[in-house]
C-alpha cells in the first residue's frame, strides 16, 4: 500500500517538558504532509490517544513527540499493540536511547568512547561537593537528568559551589542524574536515516554550550559540513552509525558527538526523535545530503513501512 492510500496519524505535543518543541516539530511536519498531498490527522497526545487512533482508523503513525511518552518506548509499545506502523526506533531502542545511563552502558559494551561519568540516585542521598572528590571529578562538568532531552534540566558547572544546586535542578526531572566530565572540543551532530549516515553539522552556540536557548531561540552558528578534516569526518560518521546500531535504532536519528583537539571522538547521546523545527539539525543535515524537508518526511514514512515494524 502506497503512502497516498494510507491515513497518517501525526502525534505531537504530549505532556513532557518538551511539549512546546514537539508542537513546533509537529506543525512543520503537518505542513510537509499537506504539501505531499497525504491524508493525515494531527493528534495532540493525551490519555485518550489510543481511543482516538482507533476511531480515526489510521494506517501509519508519524511520531513527533519529544521526551516523555514519545521517546521512552511507551507510544511505540501502544502502536505495536494496535498494529500501526510508526516512524523511528522500536520500543527497546527508544527506551535505551532516552535513558542516558542505559545508553552509556550500551556504548561502553560496544567499545564506543564516551565522556567519563557517574550517576547520582535521588532519595535520601546527601548531595555535596564531597561526591566529586570521592569520584575523582572536578569542574567543569555537565549535570543532566537521566531521562530528558532538548537540554532540559542540564547545567554546565564550572565551580564546585554550584554542584549541589545543579543536581537539585536535574532531580526535578527524575530520580537519577548524570554527572559527566566536560570534554572540550567541537560539537558535531551526525544524522542517520535508513541505516546510513547522511552527514553532519558542527554547532557553535553563542552560549557556553548547546543548551535549550541555543537550540530553539537562535544565536547559534551551524557549519555544514563540520570544519574537521576528511578522515575525522568519515570516522565521526562511522562512530555515529555504530552508536545508532549499538542501541538497535532504526529510522531517522541524530547522534551528538564531541571531537576534541586530538580528533578523538566522544558520543554524547542518540536522539531517536530528532527535532523537526525551523532551527533543528536533522533537516539541515538532510539538506546537505540532498533531501528537502518534504523529502525527509516522506523518506521517514517510507522507512516506517519497509523497516520491519509492520
Cα–Cα distance measured from residue 212 to residue 208, given in angstroms and rounded to the nearest whole number: 12
Give the active site residue among 269, 280, 299, 303. 269
Give the active site residue among 25, 94, 150, 280. 150
> 49-75: b or e for each residue (b if 16 or more CB lie within 10 Å)?
beebbeeeebbbbbbbbbbbbbbbbbb
pLDDT of residue 275 exceeding 50: yes
pLDDT given at position 284: 95
The string of pLDDT tens digits covering residues 181-221 is 999 999 999 999 999 999 999 999 876 655 555 555 566 89
pLDDT of residue 310 exceeding 60: no
Does domain 117-181 bear CATH number 3.30.1490.20? yes
Q: Is 275 a catalytic residue?
A: yes
The string of pLDDT tens digits covering residues 46-73 is 989 999 999 999 999 999 998 777 889 9
> 190-227: b or e for each residue (b if 16 or more CB lie within 10 Å)?
bbbbeeebbbbbbbebeeeebbbebbbeeebeeeeebe
Q: Is 254 a catalytic residue?
A: yes
Give the active site residue among 13, 14, 18, 59. 18
Give the active site residue among 88, 251, 275, 287. 275
pLDDT of residue 44 exceeding 70: yes
Kindly report the average pLDDT of the chain as a whole number: 91
Give the active site residue among 216, 233, 266, 291. 216
Q: Is 256 a catalytic residue?
A: yes
- The packing angle between helices 281-288 and 293-306, to 10°, is 90
pLDDT given at position 150: 55
- Mapped onto helix, strand or coil, the DSSP state of residue 218 is coil
Can you list the positions of beta strands (E) in 8-130?
8-12, 40-44, 60-63, 117-121
- Let me know if the fold of 3-87 is the same as that of 117-181: no
Q: What is the CATH number of domain 3-87?
A: 3.40.50.20
Give the active site residue among 211, 256, 299, 303. 256
Q: Is 216 a catalytic residue?
A: yes
The string of pLDDT tens digits covering residues 70-127 is 889 999 999 999 999 999 999 999 999 999 999 999 999 999 999 999 999 976 677 8
First to last CA, the chain: 12
Does domain 96-113+184-306 bear CATH number 2.40.50.100? no
- Local confidence band at 308 (pLDDT 50, 70, 90 cut-offs): very low
Q: Is 150 a catalytic residue?
A: yes
- Helix ranges (H only) for 36-86 are 49-56, 68-71, 74-81
Cα–Cα distance measured from residue 70 to residue 25, given in angstroms and rounded to the nearest whole number: 13
pLDDT given at position 207: 63
Residue ranges of domains in the chain: 3-87, 96-113+184-306, 117-181
Average pLDDT (292-302) is 96
Give the active site residue among 153, 254, 266, 291. 254
pLDDT of residue 34 exceeding 90: yes
146 to each of 11, 119, 129, 142, 167, how far by Cα in Å? 24, 9, 20, 12, 11
- Closest C-alpha among 243, 212, 236 to residue 144: 212
Q: Is 271 a catalytic residue?
A: yes
Amino acid at each position: 500500500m502506497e503512502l497516498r492510500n494510507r491515513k497518517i496519524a501525526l502525534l505531537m505535543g504530549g505532556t513532557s517538558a518538551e511539549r512546546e518543541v514537539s508542537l513546533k516539530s509537529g506543525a512543520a511536519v503537518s505542513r510537509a504532509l499537506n504539501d505531499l498531498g497525504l491524508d493525515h490527522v494531527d493528534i495532540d497526545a493525551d490519555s485518550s490517544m489510543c481511543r482516538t487512533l482507533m476511531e480515526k482508523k489510521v494506517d501509519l503513525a508519524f511520531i513527533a513527540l519529544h521526551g516523555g511518552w514519545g521517546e521512552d518506548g511507551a507510544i511505540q509499545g501502544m502502536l505495536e499493540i494496535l498494529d500501526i506502523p510508526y516512524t523511528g526506533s522500536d520500543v527497546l531502542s527508544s527506551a535505551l536511547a532516552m535513558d542516558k545511563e542505559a545508553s552509556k552502558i550500551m556504548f561502553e559494551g560496544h567499545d564506543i568512547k564516551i565522556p567519563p561519568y557517574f550517576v547520582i540516585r535521588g532519595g535520601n542521598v546527601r548531595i555535596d561537593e564531597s561526591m566529586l572528590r570521592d569520584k575523582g571529578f572536578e569542574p567543569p562538568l555537565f549535570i543532566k537528568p537521566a531521562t530528558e532531552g532538548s537540554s532540559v534540566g542540564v547545567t554546565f558547572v564550572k565551580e564546585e559551589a554550584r554542584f549541589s544546586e545543579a543536581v537539585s535542578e536535574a532531580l526535578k526531572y527524575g530520580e537519577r542524574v548524570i554527572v559527566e566530565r566536560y570534554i572540550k572540543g567541537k560539537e558535531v551532530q551526525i544524522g542517520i536515516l535508513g541505516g546510513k549516515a547522511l552527514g553532519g553539522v558542527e554547532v557553535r552556540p553563542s552560549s557556553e554550550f548547546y543548551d535549550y536557548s541555543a537550540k530553539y531561540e537562535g544565536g547559534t552558528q551551524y557549519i555544514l559540513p563540520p570544519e574537521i578534516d576528511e578522515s575525522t569526518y568519515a570516522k565521526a560518521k562511522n562512530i555515529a552509525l555504530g552508536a545508532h546500531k549499538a542501541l538497535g535504532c532504526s529510522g531517522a536519528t541524530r547522534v551528538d558527538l564531541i571531537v576534541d583537539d586530538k580528533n578523538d571522538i566522544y558520543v554524547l547521546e542518540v536522539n531517536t526523535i530528532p527535532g523537526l523545527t525551523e532551527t533543528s539539525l536533522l533537516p539541515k543535515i538532510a539538506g546537505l545530503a540532498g533531501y528537502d524537508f518534504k523529502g525527509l518526511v516522506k523518506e521517514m514514512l517510507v522507512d516506517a513501512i519497509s523497516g520491519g515494524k509492520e
